Chain A
Amino acid sequence: MEGTNSKKKKQLGYSSQFALVISLIAGCVGTGNIWRFPRVAATNGGGTFIVAWTIMWALVCIPIMLGEHVIGRSTRHGAPGAFRDFIGEKFAWMGVVIAITMAGVAAYYSTVIAWVLQYLGLSLTKGYYGIEDKQALFNSISNGNIVTVILFVFVLALSAFIVLKGIKGIEKANKYFIPILFTCLVVSAINSLRLPGASDGLHYLFDINLKDLLSYKIWLEALTQAVWSAGPGWGLVITLAVFSRAKSDVGLTTITQGFGDNAGALLAALVVLPAIFAIAPSIAAAEEICQGGNNGLTFVSMTNIFENMPGGYLVSILFFTSLFVAAISSNVCHFMICSLPFVDSGMKKEKAVKLMFIILLIWGLPSAWNINFLSNQDWVFGQLMVVGSMFSCFAIIKFGTKKIRQQFINNKYKGINIGFWWEICIKIISPIIVVTMFLWWSIQSIGWEANWWNPFGVFSLGTFIVQGGLIILVSILFNKKVSSSIKTKYFDGETFPPIPDNGFSG
């Protein structure tokens, strides 16, 4: 027995392929699945939207994430080092843009989780019951609220604590997070579906009109939902794949991640829409609720519904618990995405996490104090995520799609064969669609504010151009410095190297 133990090597990376899949699902299932999908699906044709969303998921998200999985596993570096080793030193800046984008997301997303925690507390104590003006309640929580700020610091500290434990810490946390998330959603969905009138919500969610498939708006909304939920271009797959075993599957793992993400979104829709349609006084009122924004739906309308529905107390607790668990598991990944590049450049894990904590604390405090700042960051970094998808497409095409597919994806450990369709998608379809999405949102934003060029506008195109442009410019200027700071190179261009002991992998 002693002999066996002494021979046992330290296992780096995930304990199993299943653990990798769970971590990928935990990273991509977030608030976008729970509060955005039901609302967007309901207001964009229901079943028609789901068809478009599924096609976009298969044509854009899965192909890009398959390539990103190869980038992460073959280079064994965070985004900057991954781009450097995969397509050359000149392109490390693209990875820097992705890492900064995810730091920006983690900074404001921590505040969203702080709101959710506040509402979880209010659900437990029935604190929002009897309050007529739920919008005023949300305004008081999202603007100048010291409890929100304290909870924001707590969320960041919790994320840092889990990341400090490395990939094993993330794996262990997700062993609790994912079962809690899906259990809460299933129990809430059963409760919502039992309500009289819930079938109206189902009808609204699944009704299909094939003529609506001719509407470009439905396709673009479906694409947006798929990209902002599944995770292409975030550096999520690149970073988590760093810790995956060389002798394991790529294709089936990525497809499972995609199925898990979309199944989570559908489950959330089965909670939210039947409840709204059952409790709202009329179909028109239910439609109006769905047309409110994410915050309006979750914190204003849903709390009204929970207060008035049978079993609402339990469902409210389960709903906000699932929202918290989904969001914190994603936030942990965001934290890892922006910490790993520091470790790649030789910094100790502890120092990198502490540094990232301080950066995110300073960057996120304005969002915790003022919702307008948060909304601005959401707009800017949402667009930069789309830019990240373009960079991923570029890297995959530049390296060579044929080699990636034949040598890396369809390796002898594959769980599923990925056909030539992937090469067509990644070379032609995905880039065109992603660029179209970027342009569509940019053009849309011109009409959102009186002065589209104003760099200080919350949702102006000017603010995106200035902030996004600055991030890209700084990344390009520091490309050489970043590239040379990463001393290690594992990728030989032909095979997946074993998982290195970089501090996070043990």
Chain B
Amino acid sequence: MDLVVKKEKYMTFNSIIMMILCLGFYFGGFALVIFKIGKMKNIDD
């Protein structure tokens, strides 16, 4: 029983870390590239 509880705690910690990494990577990355694109100059052909 103790082992199960420990495992669940470990998994929860795992998923929290993973959530921070995933959301940080995708939303942070998206915000960063959108910011860079927004700053680009438009040069006519």
Interface residues of chain A, those whose CB is within 8 Å of chain B, are 9, 11-12, 15-18, 21, 46-47, 50, 54, 202-203, 205-208, 245-249, 252-253, 255-256, 259-260, 262-263, 266, 413, 415-416, 498-499
Contact = CB atoms under 8 A, between A and B. Distances in A.
B38 A18 contact: yes
A15 B11 CA distance: 48
Nearest to A267: B27
Contacts of B18: 47, 50, 206-208
Residue of A46, A248, A256, A260 with highest tally of chain B CB at under 10 A? A256
A256 B11 CA distance: 32
Given A50-B18, A205-B15, 8 more contacts: A18-B40, A47-B14, A203-B11, A205-B19, A207-B15, A246-B45, A263-B30, A413-B43
19 contacts: A9-B44, A17-B40, A21-B37, A46-B15, A50-B22, A54-B25, A202-B15, A203-B12, A205-B19, A208-B14, A208-B18, A248-B42, A248-B43, A249-B37, A252-B37, A266-B22, A266-B26, A266-B27, A499-B45
Size bracket of the B interface: 20 to 34
A248 B37 CA distance: 10
B43 to A, nearest CB: 4
Contacts of A207: 11, 14-15, 18
B41 to A, nearest CB: 9
Contacts of B44: 9, 11, 245, 247
Nearest to A13: B45
B34 interface: yes
A17 B26 CA distance: 21
A74 to B, nearest CB: 13
A413 B45 CA distance: 12
Nearest to B26: A263
A245 B22 contact: no
Given A47-B14, A206-B15, A245 B34 contact: no
